[in-house]
Structure 1
Amino acid sequence: MKKLLYIGNKLSIHGNTATSIETLGSFFEEEGYEMYYASSKKNKIFRFLDMIFSTVKYSKKVDYVLIDTYSTQNFWFAFAVSQLCRILNLKYIAKLHGGDLPNRLLKSPYFCDLIFKKAYKITAPSNYLLHAFKLKYSDNLIYIPNTIEIKNYSFTEKEFSIPKLLWVRSFSKIYNPIMAIKVLSELKKYYPMAELCMVGPDKEDLVNDCKLYAKNLGVEVQFTGKLSKEEWIEKSKDYTIFINTTHFDNAPVSVIEAMALGLPVVSTNVGGIPFLLENDKNAFLVNDNDVEGMVKAIQKLVKNRENTKEIVKKARLIVEEFDWNKVKSSWFEILK
């Protein structure tokens, strides 16, 4: 079986949300691949050095290097590792992440060419990124969606009469957590029993600000901190609507998971979201930072419950195509 080195931010041991390096990595391990990882170092400089060191260390052992490629500071980690792979004559796969990567293509075309034109493969987890990259990098570009194990997500029909909102993301400005609290405050004018639970690690020290904001608005919000996947899936049984308030996004796994669980999704229509979700078909979409629009969408799904049930069923059918047992053949094909 093939041996793989996976380069990315393996930081769940430090309280961060588990990312693809851990979820996809574990899927590969279960299929018999021998996996090496870099890096779980918390300090960014040490993490970068560990990525470089590991690439050299395992260069004679591995068949491929998978590189999680983001749009911001971590883009330069991916750039450095990819160029080292070229020097060492290692086949590397640039695994795309992040809703702002199309802007990186515009801002850094020279460095993007050095990464992507020389990659063995580029994997796009969404049609959004596939569309953005295909004009320049179609020769080695392939669509492989973010994947889940559908058997772990029990589809449950919900009762929508009282909006009980669930928000699951890291507390980061890009994900606009304050908007969720604003939505709850406005929603309570129509549904006094409305609730909001916010799940996720405090990535940018925003939780205290959010708690103070909720207090000033006079609304109670449950902040759970980081929960394991199993814990938040269990928690989701107590909630009826999933809200996604992000400013930028690609194809967020938490949204895919909510769709699998039978939670109607109300989301901002930013980045790759409209490539995953279609308004009034499998979700409800509103403009970025549009609190009033999100409140109206929630009112609509509560009032038209039979229509909402149909939307939820269609959402489940879509994400069943992201099951690992269906997606893994695409990975096997490029790793053969």
Structure 2
Amino acid sequence: MLRKEGYKVKTASTRSNKGLRLIEMLGLIVRFHKTTDVVLIDTYGAMNFYYAYLVAKTCQAYNLEYIPILHGGNLPERLHASKKYSKSLFGKAKINIAPSKFLYDIFKAEGFNNTKIIPNAIQMENYPFKKREDFQPKLLWVRRFQKRYNPVMALEVLLLLKKDYPNAKLCMVGPDKDGTMKTCKKFAAKNQLDIEFKGKLKKKAWAKLSKNYDFFINTTNIDNTPISVIEAMSLGLAVVSTNVGGMPVLIKNNDDGLLVPVNNAQDMAAGIDRLIKNPEKAQSLTENARKKVENFAWEKVKTDWNRVLNS
């Protein structure tokens, strides 16, 4: 999106091997530091935190300005677990970009006053709203298969719904990270659940796929304000999510989505059941959600990015 605004952007890295990925990231800075104005660093709370730290240290060595873009609901834990590294990474940044007030408040409380909110941006034209008047138990789950995102809960929700809705179905989209997909497939086989496992799809592909579903379920145990949920809200899917991390900042419960307790398949299934039986309410949630995420449109968000990059 920045390229379309006229910025010259070099990116690294798409390599799956972690060592090669790090070498490529650091090598890019070494090669182009003389012609680079600022480095944008996608920053997460797990292992990738150390990549961000090393990239930042390399930028500091070359007196290059850098901007960490904060992702992941486990970043707050990382701030406490790695205080020294965090102080160096975030304290010396040009500015830290938080996608929501959730992370913004946490970073400010830790003394990182060089933090600004710029929402995760989407290109709205790629996520057209589908008006749904009849809501059926057709569930879509889009995330990486990883324990922290609790994908097994999605299957548990389907199993509960099957009692009253034998034709209920679930489609799961995303790559496997830690073997959790295998666990899900075993659960599905054991309980005779016919589930579509699509693997990793490009965004346009799953956006097209979403037309066949009515609910988007987010089962995670830890979160920030995931872009997949924002995209689902734009597409007109009724969003039902666990109430963790930044989710109550993104979703106003019972207004533009439903929030349920973490790891509570019964409450999530019950929430979906209520909306199926009350399609007018479900329609109201989806329309309100679409209005909300219009504030995440790149055409609005790009103004904030232009101010930051040109300051």
Which TM bucket (shorter chain)?
A: over 0.9
What corresponds to 1:188 in structure 2?
162
Percent identity over the alignment?
46
Equivalences for residues 196-215 of structure 1 within 5 A? 196-215=170-189
Unaligned segments of structure 1, at least 5 residues:
1-26
Q: Following the alignment from structure 1 to structure 2, what is the Cα–Cα distance between the partners of residues 76 and 182?
A: 35
Deviation at 1:159, TM superposition (A): 4.0
Q: Does 1:326 align with 2:303?
A: no
**Aligned match for 1:53, one of 11, 19, 27:** 27
What corresponds to 1:153 in structure 2?
127
SS of equivalent residue, structure 2 residue 267: helix
Q: Following the alignment from structure 2 to structure 1, what is the Cα–Cα distance between the partners of residues 211 and 15?
A: 34
Q: Does 1:256 align with 2:230?
A: yes
RMSD: 1.2
SS of equivalent residue, structure 1 residue 333: helix
- CA deviation vs aligned residue, 1:12-36 (integer Å, no higher than 9, x gap): xxxxxxxxxxxxxxx0111111111
Deviation at 1:38, TM superposition (A): 1.7
**Aligned match for 1:110, one of 66, 84, 107:** 84
**Aligned match for 1:284, one of 240, 258, 265:** 258
Please identify, of 299-308 and 286-295, the stretch whose mean Cα deviation from structure 2 is larger.
299-308
| TM-score, scaled relative to structure 1 | 0.90
- CA deviation vs aligned residue, 1:156-199 (integer Å, no higher than 9, x gap): 12244421001111111111111111110110101111111111
Output the amino acid matched with 2:140. L
SS of equivalent residue, structure 2 residue 40: strand
Deviation at 1:120, TM superposition (A): 0.4
Output the amino acid matched with 2:81. K
Is contact 1:280–1:311 with CA below 8 Å preserved after alignment?
yes
What corresponds to 1:80 in structure 2?
54
Unaligned segments of structure 2, at least 5 residues:
none
Is contact 2:133–2:283 with CA below 8 Å preserved after alignment?
no
**Aligned match for 2:101, one of 121, 124, 127:** 127
Output the amino acid matched with 1:323. A
Deviation at 1:137, TM superposition (A): 4.0
What corresponds to 2:276 in structure 1?
302
Q: Following the alignment from structure 1 to structure 2, what is the Cα–Cα distance between the partners of residues 72 and 98?
A: 8
- CA deviation vs aligned residue, 1:44-64 (integer Å, no higher than 9, x gap): 111112222211111101100
SS of equivalent residue, structure 2 residue 113: helix
Q: Following the alignment from structure 1 to structure 2, what is the Cα–Cα distance between the partners of residues 29 and 295?
A: 42
**Aligned match for 1:69, one of 38, 43, 56:** 43
| TM-score, scaled relative to structure 2 | 0.97
Matched residues, number: 310
